[in-house]
Chains A and B, each alone.
Chain A
């Protein structure tokens, strides 16, 4: 989601409403009746804040009721962002910027963190998709995990074709699901170089086993740090000098595959960041609703 010009009316409305809330909050704080929340302006602000929190929490419900004509999802998301922000302002003004007792302190704290995490999420979703779209393949797009699985197979088949025989993978069977989700295909005969006839075929196999395979399968023990682009370039350059020129295209392709895997992993990281904040935001929103209910019951009782 991008915070673009379509958010301007919401921003303006929120600012105006926040200004009004501040005025009401000031009026509530001036009143000489103990807690500002118990004054009429305070109660009004509290009621509005509670209503906004409840409305904001209905975004998840709206997603389940897609077929009901209740406005568009982007509209709901914009409303969710700005009304939740406004609920924070109203909530704080309701309490006269004071924490109060344990329950109200907890409620205020959870509200602040929940809205704050939402703001961070909105910011991440504004920035990260652009960064995500920069990386990856320029031709086609797959889910990163599938991309990595595909590249693993491709690397194996590439080394198989270059060395003339399937590379040893540390005693493990290449058909094992632990290594490849689908068994690698034998390269076509005309694309396969004869085994043991070229200088460096053995080194290439060793390099695959020692560095590329652990990197592709995300294992710890590796003879070269292929996770960093600069180190990977050094490692591939060093090997190029030791190989027969006929093997250079295969090595070059292997280097490209490693680069694609790095990009896919970067995408995975960005994707986890894009959604990771929800692990904090959603439980806090649940807790907020519980605390809000308790707060309302307490207020009504006493």
Chain B
């Protein structure tokens, strides 16, 4: 799929979704008619109605096998698999609007009635691009081009009836016999015939599913589009991780990554999951500006809403949407986050289920404290969105950041020692250029709180795990105290310099460096503007110089709050600043290491080291060093790790 986003410089860098043939830009009443957008406040309505909302929500049609988003691509947008009822209502309204538009066009531009849908869209684009006027004509042409095809509405009505039965049964079977859902209709029938009499209910369900699939084959719209998928809901997609992730944290950060749907026929050993109508995906990538962590492909013809981060921000102001997101998080992601905590990695699923269902979901405003140094360790926190900052209370010295999926205080639950650091929601520095009135979701920190009592309660149903936990508590209470003393002495400089943030931290070994400057020259040579993104000045750590350049932070705070969404992470984690950067300086102000610079004479623009992502030999600063003095390392492997109770 080609790029679906364009930068609209006229609107101060606000992006606009590009229409493809078969797509339809939604009007405000149409958007508000979709169940996802219900309960929005009047203020949200006005924001959607404003310039920022124009072209920000598009209904796209995908054919079977089509890639909706690709792993590694920038995550500018989020997707919503629209429910059949909403879709039917929407297509009916678009049908009515198209008929009305045709009537008006027959008077003003009668020649357009003979055009295909694609040609009408091209004509609308041409009018908009050349004259900038004729907004009514453009709207009419677009409305006329976004009509359902002739048999679509009838087909959708038939499909809705089928889906209700099929969905109900599939969801029942997904829990009891998920493997049966993978069978084709004929195999389902054969399996049903072989089942014993006492399993008559299951056999009946299988036969009904097979009948539904066969009925669908008769539905004109899908036969016309050559749908090859034997079973499936209208909006069924696969999310496939086409290549293994090098860093599982980035995988965890993406909400839609490796979703093993608990409702569908996902294969436990594979990295494929199925998404259903009414599900949202790509939202975490959109919020965090991280690359897509999965490729999503349409299993069969379907419709999906694609919308910009601006719309996601608006949705997050709705209680209804937040509740939906909460339930999605509990069902999809929380168990993964819990399993990432070392002592819960092998916990029985009954323990994880109790924790998942009963954990508190808490929202903290920027700067708000979670706990103070010296407080009793009575709970642990998992970061759901946003970032946490750990620091020493007395000195205010930063110890570490914790990002999505990472836990704080897990060690404290084992040792029962007081907290050895304070923890607060991350507060970015004050900047002048933030878009007024726009609440940025990433600034708010959402955490999951798990109390010691809840953990004990969860262990009630798993006596073996309870014993294991008791043993771990006993072991850790003595050992960890000793470790902390040495750790505090040995790593204070690492903490001061915040080295653990660096996933591709550049170090210069001063016992090897001859100050030849080859690294800076090589950087200059590959730099787009002929200026280096590397300065051989910076703090010193033992025999290493930490030069001023991008460290590829584990939790890149520079990504937070870009008003035009120009900064994001590339496929290998590198920071990328797109050419529609408006030079507001927010990212440069937020980078704690001075690695982002504002450059340019006429038009300022942020510049950052992109780790020579386009170079096959990797960062040229390293490959150009004859003396093996310049290295890039993952700080967590290179320096001792710090854990905070």
Contact A137–B540 (Cβ < 8 Å): yes
Question: A192-221 CB contact bits vs B (8 Å, 1 = yes)?
Answer: 000000000000000000000000000000
Out of A1, A130, A137, A271, name the residue touching B626 (CB < 8 Å).
A1
Nearest A residue (CB) for B627: A1
A141 on the B face (CB < 8 A): yes
B431 at interface (Cβ–Cβ under 8 A)? Answer: no
Residues of B near A137 (CB, < 8 A) are: 540
B537 touches A140 (CB 8 A): yes
Per-position 1/0 for B525-555, Cβ under 8 A of A: 1100000000011111001010000000000
The answer to whether B537 touches A274 (Cβ under 8 A) is: no
Contact yes or no, B538 A140, CB < 8 A: yes
A interface footprint on B603-617 (CB within 8 Å = 1, 0 otherwise): 000000000000111
Number of A-B contacts (CB under 8 A): 81
Q: Please tell me which one of the listed residues A76, A139, A271 contacts residue B540 in the complex, with CB atoms under 8 A apart.
A: A139
Contact with A along B503-533 (1 / 0, CB 8 A): 0000000111111101000100110000000
Whether B628 sits at the interface, judged by CB under 8 Å, is yes
Residues of B within 8 A of A141 (CB): 510, 536-540, 545
A2 to B624, CA, bound (A): 16
A275 cross-chain contacts in B, Cβ below 8 A: 514-516
Interface residue? B620 (CB, 8 A) = yes
Please tell me if the beta carbons of B539 and A74 are within 8 angstroms of each other in the complex.
no
A143: which of B537, B539, B616 is its contact (CB, 8 Å)? B537
When distances are taken between beta carbons in the complex, the residues of chain B under 8 Å from A109 are none
Which has the most chain B C-beta neighbours within 10 Å: A125, A130, A133? A133
Any A CB within 8 A of the CB of B625? yes
> Out of A74, A129, A133, A140, which one reaches B625, CB within 8 Å?
A74
Q: In whole angstroms, how far apart are the Cα atoms of A7 and B272 in the complex?
A: 49
| Contact assessment for A2 and B615 in the assembled complex, using a CB-CB cutoff below 8 Å | no
Residue A31, interface by CB 8 Å: no
A76: contacting residue among B516, B518, B626, CB under 8 A: B626
Q: State how many angstroms separate the Cβ of A43 from the closest Cβ of chain B.
A: 33
Contact in complex: A66, B623 (CB < 8 Å): yes
Residues of B within 8 A of A125 (CB): 514, 627
Q: Are B515 and A2 in contact (CB under 8 A)?
A: no
Is residue A175 contacting chain B, with contact meaning CB distance below 8 A?
no
Of A63, A67, A73, A132, the residue contacting B510 (CB under 8 A) is A132
Cα A100 to Cα B522 in complex, Å, equals 44
With A1-B626, A143-B536 in contact, do A67 and B512 touch (Cβ < 8 Å)?
no
The reply to whether A129 and B616 contact each other, CB–CB distance below 8 Å, is no
Closest A residue to B540 using CB positions = A141
Instruction: Tell me if A177 is interfacial: C-beta within 8 Å of chain B.
Output: no
Q: In the complex, how many angstroms separate the beta carbon of A298 from the nearest chain B beta carbon?
A: 35
Between A and B, 17 residue pairs with Cβ closer than 8 Å are A1-B628, A2-B511, A66-B525, A67-B526, A69-B616, A74-B628, A76-B626, A125-B514, A132-B510, A133-B510, A137-B540, A141-B510, A141-B537, A141-B545, A142-B537, A143-B537, A275-B514
- A: residues with CB less than 8 A from B are 1-2, 63, 66-67, 69, 72-74, 76-77, 125, 128-130, 132-133, 136-143, 146, 271, 274-275
Report, nearest first, the 10 A-B pairs whose CB atoms are least far apart. A133-B510, A1-B627, A77-B626, A73-B626, A130-B511, A74-B628, A142-B537, A141-B545, A274-B514, A140-B539
Could you tell me which B residues sit within 8 Å of A by CB distance? Answer: 510-516, 518, 522, 525-526, 536-540, 543, 545, 615-617, 620, 623-629
14 additional contacts, CB 8 Å, given A73-B623, A129-B512?
A: A1-B514, A1-B626, A2-B627, A66-B617, A66-B623, A73-B518, A73-B625, A74-B627, A125-B514, A129-B511, A133-B513, A140-B538, A141-B536, A141-B545
